[in-house]
Chain A
């Protein structure tokens, strides 16, 4: 039993890696068996993530040397509070999205939805766990390659066009990532994150220019993933063109970029890094402010629900980064709380868009009045709950998240910008969503118009968005507990010395 617990760290990587090929093989002959494998895989991943989350509660950092090669020579997986939180977040989202895809038969629109989905989870979980920068690149590639397939799932000309832009942007991003890794390796001779942090502190003044270049390149790459202005142009088109179910899963993709920043900057470019300490901070706050403004501006201008949801994801990532860019423990605590909320809220919006899209016939998700459609009340209710969460109004957790961000930002450099942006963009979001919501659900195009006839839709379709809204409500009710967790995570992130000693010293307990 002890042995099993020790090796549990690798379970979130192994489970999807086994599930994906099994689902692929089974799906060809027996769809039901394949479905069962896929769902069991999602569920097992959630169980493993929860077990790891429980393990991380004792505040210890655990290093898992793969093949028992000691770090910095071998690759390590590291389990701490940040990794455990992200794993749980990803697995919950995966289970809900997978459930929705199965219920709505969205997974039957193309061939390999289930294997691709699990490869995507493999990349995500690996990226959250790894303690090696090159390994992070590899897991990024795994999740990107799977996401290309998922993004094009269901096909269609618009999707293909957006797909090319998405793929090209990410290939260029990968090239930049490799250049940054090359620079870091030349200067320090290591790519282990813990080792990097130690060696960068020892670098002489002649190398400081290069290390700044490497750090900023790395932040550019993470910025591309997180869709920070001016690297955001790929996001709205991609997310609006892909299937809403897939876009709901992609709600966590921008957070992977943010996660990578949270992981790498305090560890490698932290307070001990000499002249390259906090190298991205002067750029991050202005970029985050612009991202937030542009995101919620887009919500205001969006013509359809999917477009609005895509811009809301952009805006919430910007809000999140404004808090992250303070690089203080308090602000990071608020950011962690908001990160969990923003992921669920973005996904909920996309799932509601999916439900609306299926029921409104030829009107799709456009923000125009339609004749009555089946399940209009339930869709409207879910939409308003998701919209309230996304813009951050009480009673849902977005309000608490934004309040925490405002409270922790107060007094820090540039807090006026954070306050102004958060307050203005909340107003913009409220106006944008109430405009599209009232156009779609309240106005009707003539009372004597025939209701939209369509095939009878199963009410099970409402289960997934309802589950997400309930999760958001849970995040509100247990805000005290969640914020305690977030603050403990932030405390661990801002004490990189322990991480370094655990990874390099080989000790498993603090």
Chain B
């Protein structure tokens, strides 16, 4: 199987899982979903420089082919930002759980009891 197919399907699976989880009703699952989604986005951004192996991103004597260094810089920025965001969401969900006593995204505790058999 080609590298393109592998990377593309990995991104697709991550996005599918991320979307499913972030549509769930509980904050923990939503946080996990957002994390998966951001992994997928980072992989996707990384792949925008085309998938090339064994090429230097910086100037080296005697080398003709280079990997694109810009997506790597973009991914780094994106990783830092999403990491901070995830930390914030975790703290926020925790505070909301402690304040309202429920981990439902819309903060309604009664939904829990309705769902329970």
A interface residues, Cβ below 8 angstroms from B = 134, 138, 141, 145, 148, 152, 157, 160-161, 163-165, 167-168, 171-172, 174-175, 178-179, 181-183, 185-186
Q: Which residues of B contact A152 (CB under 8 A)?
A: 92
B89 and A157 contacting across the interface, CB-CB below 8 Å = no
**For window 10-34 of chain B, which residues contact chain A by CB distance below 8 Å?**
22, 27, 30, 34
A157 and B107 contacting across the interface, CB-CB below 8 Å = yes
Chain A: minimal CB distance from B109 (Å):
11
B105 and A157 contacting across the interface, CB-CB below 8 Å = no
A164 and B92 contacting across the interface, CB-CB below 8 Å = yes
Q: Which residues of A contact B27 (CB under 8 A)?
A: 164
Chain A: minimal CB distance from B77 (Å):
7
User: How many residue pairs, one in A and one in B, have C-beta atoms under 8 Å apart?
Assistant: 83
Q: A157-B100, A175-B41 are in contact. Are A148 and B88 (CB under 8 A)?
A: yes
Q: A165-B106, A182-B44, A185-B71 are in contact. Are A157 and B99 (CB under 8 A)?
A: yes
Main secondary structure of the interface of A (DSSP, over half): helix
> What are 26 A-B residue pairs whose CB atoms fall within 8 Å in the complex?
A138-B77, A141-B81, A148-B88, A148-B92, A152-B92, A157-B100, A160-B95, A161-B107, A167-B85, A167-B88, A167-B89, A168-B89, A168-B105, A171-B34, A171-B82, A171-B85, A172-B22, A174-B82, A175-B37, A175-B38, A178-B44, A178-B45, A182-B41, A182-B71, A185-B70, A185-B74
Would you call B7 an interface residue if the criterion is a C-beta within 8 Å of the partner chain's C-beta atoms?
Answer: no
Question: Per a CB cutoff under 8 Å, which of A160, A178, A181 touches B92?
Answer: A160
Chain A: minimal CB distance from B92 (Å):
6
Q: Which residues of A contact B30 (CB under 8 A)?
A: 168
Main secondary structure of the interface of B (DSSP, over half): helix
Q: Name the interface size band of chain B.
A: 20 to 34
Interface string of B63-107 (1 = CB under 8 A from A): 000000011001001100110110011001101100110000111
Q: A160-B99, A186-B48 are in contact. Are A171 and B107 (CB under 8 A)?
A: no
CA distance A163 to B70 in the complex (A): 34
Question: Per a CB cutoff under 8 Å, which of B22, B41, B77, B96 touches A160?
Answer: B96
Closest residue of chain B to A186, judged by CB? Answer: B48
CA distance A420 to B37 in the complex (A): 41
Q: Which residues of A contact B100 (CB under 8 A)?
A: 157, 160-161
Q: Which residues of A contact B38 (CB under 8 A)?
A: 171, 175
Question: Per a CB cutoff under 8 Å, which of B41, B50, B95, B96 touches A179?
Answer: B41
Closest residue of chain A to B74, judged by CB? Answer: A134
Chain A: minimal CB distance from B98 (Å):
9
Q: A160-B96, A161-B106, A171-B34 are in contact. Are A182 and B48 (CB under 8 A)?
A: yes
Q: Which residues of B contact A160 (CB under 8 A)?
A: 92, 95-96, 99-100, 107
CA distance A141 to B40 in the complex (A): 19
CA distance A157 to B106 in the complex (A): 11
CA distance A148 to B90 in the complex (A): 13
CA distance A186 to B49 in the complex (A): 7
B48 and A174 contacting across the interface, CB-CB below 8 Å = no
CA distance A125 to B77 in the complex (A): 20
